[in-house]
C-alpha cells in the first residue's frame, strides 16, 4: 500500500516524535508513506478567518501537489486541523464549480491545478481500517501489559468529517490499542475539544477545557492522542490544571504511533519519549 503523507507544521517541528513514530510504524507494517514534497501550511484556523478564498487555496495547494503524483492519490494527515481543512476544501470545491475555478485561478501563480481527485484520510482512519488488529498484533514484540491507556480523539479528528467513525462516541482507536496489549480506560471526554488556540488567547477558558478531559482520565498511566494540538494542550498546561482541580495531575500524553512503536520493539530514536514535558520513562520503568 502506498500513501502520500502530509505531516503539517506541528508534526514537522514540536511534534517530531509523532512524525518519526508514524513513519516507522508504517514501515514496520509494510506500507509506504511518502511525504508530499514542497508542502506548505494548510492554513490552520487563521486562513479562513482572513478570507474564504485563502481558507480554501492553502489546503488546495497541497492537494494539487499530491495530485501531481498520480490519478487518485490518498493523502494521510496526522493533524486533525489539517485533515479538517483538507476535507472542508474538498467538499466545498466538489459542490461549487465556481469556487473550484476561483481556487485554480489563484493556484496559477504556483503553476498548480487542483482537480479534486485526491482522497484525504486521517491517520486514525488508516491505522484502524487499513491494517487489521491481527496484522498489528503480529508485529508486537513487547505486549504493553499492565499499561493503562486513556484514548483521546479530540474534536476535529471526528468532527465534522468522520466517514470512518462516530462523531460523538468514536471507537476506532480501541482495536489498535487492544492489539498492543494495553488496558484501555474509557472515559466520557474522549471526543471533547482540547481548547485549541484558546490556550493562547483565552487561557483560563482553555485550561478549563483541558482540565475536564484530564480529570476524566484520572487513574490512567498515559493518554493516547492522534493530533499534535491535542497532545500539546493536554501536556503543556498540567501545572495550571493541577491548580484548577486542586490535585496534582501528572499524566504523560503520547501519540498513538509512539505506543505502537514501543510495542513493536522499535528503538528509542523512533519513540523519542525524552521529548515529553510530562515524562513517560517513570511509567515505562514500572512495566
Please tell me whether residue 99 binds another protein under the rule CB under 8 A: no
Minimum distance from residue 133 beta carbon to another protein (Å): 28
Q: Which of 9, 23, 245, 284 lies at the binding interface for another protein (CB under 8 A)?
A: 9
Choice between 78 and 182, CB closer to another protein: 78
Site string for another protein, 200-229 (x = CB under 8 A): xxxxxxx-xx--x-----------------
**Is residue 168 part of the contact set for another protein (CB under 8 A)?**
yes
Query: Whose Cβ is closer to another protein: residue 4's or residue 44's?
Result: 44
Name the residue nearer to another protein (CB basis): 141 or 248.
248
Instruction: Note whether 130 binds another protein by CB under 8 A.
Output: no
| Binder of another protein out of 105, 243, 247, 281 (CB under 8 A) | 105
The footprint of another protein on this chain (CB under 8 A) covers a number of residues equal to 62
Note whether 29 and 58 are within 8 A (CB): no
Which residues, numbered 30-89, are part of the site for another protein (CB under 8 A)?
38, 40-41, 43-55, 57-58, 61
Q: Is 198 in the site for another protein (CB under 8 A)?
A: yes
Asked whether position 160 contacts another protein by CB under 8 A, the answer is yes
Q: What is the 3-state secondary structure (H, E, C) of the chain?
A: CEEEEECHHHHHCCCHHHHHHHHHHHHHCCCEEEECCCCCCCCCCCHHHHCHHHHHHHHHHHHHHHHCCCCCCEEEECCHHHHHHHHHHHHHHHHCHHHHHHHHHHHHHHCCCCCCCCEEEEHHHHHHHCCCHHHHHHCCCCCCCCCEEEECCCCCCCCCCCCCCCCCCCCCHHHHHHHHCCEECCCCCCCCCCCCCHHHHCHHHHHHHHHHHHHHCCCCCEEEECCHHHHHHHHHCHHHHHHHHCCCCCCCEEEHHHHHHHHCCCCHHHHCHHHCCCCCHHHHHHC
Please report whether residue 169 would count as binding another protein according to CB under 8 A.
no
Contact criterion met (CB below 8 Å) for 56 and 78? no
Distance CA 27, CA 33 (A): 8
Q: Is 237 in the site for another protein (CB under 8 A)?
A: yes
Shortest separation between residue 106's beta carbon and another protein, angstroms: 5
Nearest distance from C-beta of residue 277 to another protein, angstroms: 5
The grid coordinates of residue 109 equal 501563480
The one segment of 122-130, 175-183, 191-199, 217-225 that binds another protein by CB under 8 A: 191-199
C-alpha cell at 19: 512524525
By CB under 8 A, tell whether 12 contacts another protein.
yes
Nearer to another protein, 93 or 198 (CB): 198
Q: Does the protein bind another protein through residue 107 (CB under 8 A)? A: yes
Q: Is the dihedral of CA 47, 235, 267, 122 positive or negative?
A: negative
Provide the binding-site residues for another protein, judged by CB under 8 A: 9-10, 12-16, 38, 40-41, 43-55, 57-58, 61, 102, 105-110, 155-156, 159-160, 167-168, 192-193, 195-198, 200-206, 208-209, 212, 236-237, 239, 274-277
Amino acid at each position: 500500500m502506498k500513501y502520500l503523507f502530509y505531516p503539517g507544521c506541528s508534526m514537522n517541528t514540536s511534534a517530531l516524535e509523532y512524525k518519526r513514530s508514524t513513519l516507522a510504524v508504517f514501515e514496520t507494517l509494510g506500507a509506504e508513506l511518502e511525504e508530499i514534497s514542497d508542502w506548505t501550511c494548510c492554513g490552520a484556523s487563521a486562513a479562513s478567518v482572513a478570507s474564504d478564498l485563502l481558507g480554501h487555496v492553502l489546503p488546495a495547494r497541497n492537494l494539487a501537489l499530491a495530485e501531481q503524483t498520480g490519478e487518485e492519490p490518498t493523502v494521510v494527515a496526522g493533524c486533525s486541523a489539517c485533515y479538517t481543512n483538507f476535507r472542508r476544501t474538498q467538499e466545498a470545491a466538489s459542490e461549487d464549480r465556481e469556487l473550484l475555478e476561483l481556487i485554480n485561478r489563484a493556484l496559477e501563480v504556483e503553476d498548480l491545478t487542483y482537480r479534486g481527485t485526491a482522497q484525504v484520510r486521517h491517520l486514525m482512519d488508516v491505522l484502524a481500517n487499513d491494517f487489521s488488529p491481527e496484522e498489528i498484533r503480529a508485529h508486537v514484540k513487547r505486549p504493553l501489559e499492565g499499561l493503562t491507556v486513556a484514548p483521546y480523539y479530540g474534536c476535529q479528528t471526528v468532527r465534522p468529517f468522520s466517514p470512518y467513525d462516530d462523531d460523538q462516541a468514536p471507537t476506532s482507536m480501541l482495536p489498535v490499542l487492544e492489539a498492543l496489549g494495553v488496558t484501555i480506560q474509557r472515559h466520557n471526554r474522549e471526543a471533547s475539544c482540547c481548547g485549541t488556540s484558546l490556550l493562547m488567547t483565552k487561557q483560563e477558558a482553555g485550561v478549563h477545557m483541558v482540565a475536564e478531559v484530564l480529570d476524566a482520565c484520572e487513574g490512567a498511566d498515559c493518554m493516547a492522542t492522534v493530533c499534535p494540538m491535542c497532545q500539546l494542550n493536554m501536556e503543556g498546561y498540567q501545572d495550571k490544571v493541577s491548580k484548577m482541580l486542586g490535585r496534582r495531575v501528572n499524566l504523560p500524553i503520547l501519540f498513538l504511533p509512539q505506543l505502537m512503536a514501543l510495542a513493536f520493539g522499535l528503538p528509542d530514536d523512533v519513540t523519542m519519549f525524552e521529548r515529553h514535558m510530562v515524562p513517560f520513562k517513570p511509567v515505562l520503568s514500572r512495566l
